[in-house]
Amino acid sequence: MHVPARKNSAFAARGTRSARQAKSRAELNSIVAHRARLVAEVTRLRARGENSKFIDNAQQLLTRWWSTAGWHAREQLLKTADWLIRLEKRRGGRAQSPV
C-alpha cells in the first residue's frame, strides 16, 4: 500500500516564508545603513577639501550605479566604495604629514 507524502499546511509554509523575509529585510536595512554611512563619509571628506578620483569614484558607485544594481551587486558596490574611501584616507594622511 502506498502512503502519500505529508504536505505542509499553508499556515506552516507562510510562517517559514515570513521568517525568511524578516531576515532579508534586516539584511537589506543593513545594506542601506552601510550606504548611508559611506555617503556621509564621502561628504565629510569633501567638506575637508579632499577631492580626488577615489572620492569621485566612491560617490559614483553610491549614487549613479546604486539605483540600477540588484542587492548582491549593491553589496559589491559598498565593498568597493569602502575600499576607495580607505585609500583616500590613507593617501590624505600621507599628503598632510611632513616628509
Given this model, what pLDDT does residue 12 score? Answer: 54
pLDDT band of residue 51 (cuts 50, 70, 90) is confident
Is 23 or 59 the better-scoring residue by pLDDT? 59
Q: What is the mean pLDDT of residues 4-32?
A: 67
In a domain, 1, yes or no: no
Write out the residue range of the structural domain in which residue 47 sits: 10-96
* Three-state DSSP string of 54-73: HHHHHHHHHCCCCCCCCHHH
Domain count, the chain: 1
Q: How far is CA 83 from CA 3, 7, 43, 90, in A?
A: 57, 48, 16, 11
In a domain, 2, yes or no: no
Pick the closest to residue 84 from 45, 29, 48, 26 (CA basis): 45
Angle among Cα 63, 66, 67 to the nearest 5 degrees reads 100
Q: What is the mean pLDDT of residues 26-53?
A: 93
The verdict on pTM exceeding 0.85 is no
Given this model, what pLDDT does residue 69 score? Answer: 93
Pick the closest to residue 88 from 66, 63, 58 (CA basis): 58
In a domain, 62, yes or no: yes
